[in-house]
Amino acid sequence: MATYAVGGVEQIDLAPAFFTEAGAATAVWVRAENVAPDTVVYTKNADTETDLVPEDKDVAFITFYTPGEADTIVFGLLQHHPTIMAMLFNQEYTAATSKTTMLAKRKVANLAIRITTRSMKDGRKQIIVIPNVNITTSIVNNLSKTALQQLLLTGKVGSFKTTTTNLDAISIKTWVTDAGAVIDSTTP
């Protein structure tokens, strides 16, 4: 089996969340352009373990494992795009006057995220699809002369069902060539 190196971000797309593997085929993606540098972070939260050490022993008799909190994905956008804003906020946008009225009601956006990494080695890149993410959005950075206001998306990763095995899953990672072609890694 071939091995790959993963790094960088070439493109991030957003779509309404879907809850089955097959949903990926029909998702309508909108590109979230101008991603803030060094902001894309996927965190896999570790499981916690608790040892039970018997009174008459000094080593654990049994260890209890508790699943960690849901994984999180965070990234910032330097650009305020009306379509993306509408996905993330409760707002009223009037295109004719370029006016956005931000409503007081908070929104948790349920979206799918597709990250295409940069080609780091051997002309290959990875496409990471996270179909079910609950995203809250904050606005960070001051309105200063030397910085841009960022939309900071913080997502909790939820699950979806796989097609053939009906198992709970969180993401789909596919390696493709630089040009986006499928790679057949079967060994002869």
- Binding residues for other proteins, rule: CB under 8 A, are 2, 177, 179-188
The encoded tokens of residue 131 equal 């179909």
Closest distance between other proteins and the C-beta of residue 132, in Å?
A: 24
Closest distance between other proteins and the C-beta of residue 83, in Å?
A: 28
Tell me if 155 sits within 8 A of 133, measured CB to CB: yes
Closest distance between other proteins and the C-beta of residue 159, in Å?
A: 24
132 Rama class: left (phi>0) / alpha (psi -120 to 50) / beta = beta
Closest distance between other proteins and the C-beta of residue 27, in Å?
A: 17
In angstroms, the Cα distances linking 175 to 1, 85, 113, 180 are 12, 30, 16, 9
4 vs 42 by CB, closer to other proteins: 4
47 vs 178 by CB, closer to other proteins: 178
DSSP string across 27-61: ---EE--SBPTT--EEE-PPPEEEEE--TT-SS-S
55 vs 184 by CB, closer to other proteins: 184
Closest distance between other proteins and the C-beta of residue 187, in Å?
A: 6
166 vs 177 by CB, closer to other proteins: 177
Sort 107 into a burial class: Cβ within 10 Å, 0-12 / 13-18 / 19+: middle
Judged by DSSP in three states, 138 sits in strand
114 vs 124 by CB, closer to other proteins: 124
